[in-house]
Amino acid sequence: MIKQHIKQAVQLLKENRLVSCISIIGTALSIAMVMVVVLLFQIQLSGYYPEYNRDRMLYIQGTEATSKNGTDNNRGGMSAEVVRECFYSLKTPEKVTAIYSEDLPISLPNKRLFKEYNVKYTDDGFWSIFNFRFITGKPFEKADFLSGIPKAVITDQTARELFGTTDVLGKNIVINFINYSITGVVKEVSRAARDSYAEAWIPYTTKDQLMSLQYADGISGGFNVCILAKHSKDFASIRTELKQQTARYNEGKQLYKVGFAENPISRLDIAMGSEGFRKVDYKDFILETGSLVLFMLLVPALNLIGVTQASIQRRKSEVGLRKAFGATYSKLVSQILYENLVITLLGGALGLLFSFGLLNISKDFLLQNNTMINSDMLFQPGTFVATLFFVLLMNFLSAGIPALRIAKQPIVEALKGNE
């Protein structure tokens, strides 16, 4: 029966090619716009190289240093002291890492170059939290970090630009007039993976200015922190322990106290638009985004309702004849739904392809400039589930309601075609 419905739907498409093409393209464009919204949310939320553990991550995006007399308040990054006392001392998380990014020229020992690269100062825990694909070599180790030994990991793209090859282990690069020995080369990272993205990674203990960069009683500095939980169920425990560590740290301060505003925030919070100092409520996000998606769905749904109504008006006598020969209410409705589903499936598949192209064309506007989009970001199970949901919803909105009304008409009225 299903096969027969589909064959009949395809035949109807062939008979009304212009109307069918308009319906399919209209559906495709609408679903493409919806899917761009879904894909942007997915890029912010889902795990991909090298941030596969996003579902277990918490983020500290800035701190507040408030004077104890209440007259001064500083917002920004945290000092190495706060990182050490409040975060490295945490027992509940699996790993903690501190990061500081800066655009700096990278040169060769005997050749000064002026192109700037994004350099991330971090620690040895960074390599346990983010899963990089090493083409050759390995990351700098804990001993290198603690001793402030100048070692570096660079991307394959950076290696080719500097040396013309990725076979660069043991070679030196110059950052801030310091020679760094290359210990590893990793696959290039997309800018969309903001917390792990860089073109070179080095121990932050090699930069004296960063280690001594502290204001407001030693609280404010340049670092943000990423926390990897053993399980997402541990988020509440981590927040509780962080409050305890913060209270202990503040007891030893005379002039200022440290606070973390809305931090730590989860990956879902970030995907909804939250930041360290501003939290977006779930309800507000669902209302705003849901309204936008529903509006985008209604446009092709109304279009398809018109097409469905026109098609059924021409076939009213056929519907009446089928009812006269015993066709049940459910069979008539299911036939109309199957016929319309062919159009929405074709439009949905085409719309999904359109969305990938549209996202690539507009990525510099929607994301950061020069953001690389790869298959890990786009081809997620959630994408196809969302697409299927939109297609089914579209089918119900455009054909379900008219089908229910038409199938209820009396046989005589249907046979006459309302004449």
Structure confidence by residue, pLDDT tens digits, 330-384? 777 777 777 777 777 787 788 888 888 888 887 777 777 677 777 777 777 777 6
Return the pLDDT at 417.
54
Band of pLDDT at residue 131, cut at 50, 70 and 90? very high
Return the pLDDT at 231.
96
Which of 185-189, 309-313, 414-418: highest mean pLDDT? Answer: 185-189
Band of pLDDT at residue 81, cut at 50, 70 and 90? very high
Residues contacting 105, CB < 8 A, separation 6+ = 113, 114, 115, 116, 117, 175
Residue-averaged pLDDT of the chain: 84
Return the pLDDT at 355.
83
Decide which of 97 and 373 is more confident: 97
Residues contacting 342, CB < 8 A, separation 6+ = 6, 9, 10, 13
Decide which of 21 and 234 is more confident: 234
- Assess whether pLDDT exceeds 90 at residue 102: yes
- Assess whether pLDDT exceeds 70 at residue 15: no
% of the chain with per-residue pLDDT over 90: 48
Return the pLDDT at 288.
80
Q: Which helix (H) or strand (E) holds 395?
A: helix 381-395
Return the pLDDT at 419.
45
- Assess whether pLDDT exceeds 70 at residue 416: no
Nearest to 230 by CA among 221, 241, 222: 241
What's the average model confidence in pLDDT over 215-221?
86
Band of pLDDT at residue 314, cut at 50, 70 and 90? low
- Assess whether pLDDT exceeds 60 at residue 415: no
Band of pLDDT at residue 33, cut at 50, 70 and 90? confident
Long-range contacts of 277-282 (CB under 8 A, 24+ apart): 277/61, 277/62, 277/64, 277/75
What's the average model confidence in pLDDT over 55-80?
90
What's the average model confidence in pLDDT over 233-262?
95
Residue pointed to by tokens 């199970």 = 381
Structure confidence by residue, pLDDT tens digits, 138-188? 999 999 999 999 999 999 999 999 999 999 999 999 999 999 999 999 999
Residue pointed to by tokens 């894909």 = 39
What's the average model confidence in pLDDT over 54-58?
97
Return the pLDDT at 311.
62
What's the average model confidence in pLDDT over 263-280?
93
Beta strands 265-266 and 116-122, pairing class: unpaired
User: Distance between CA 251 and CA 261 in Å, rounded?
Assistant: 18
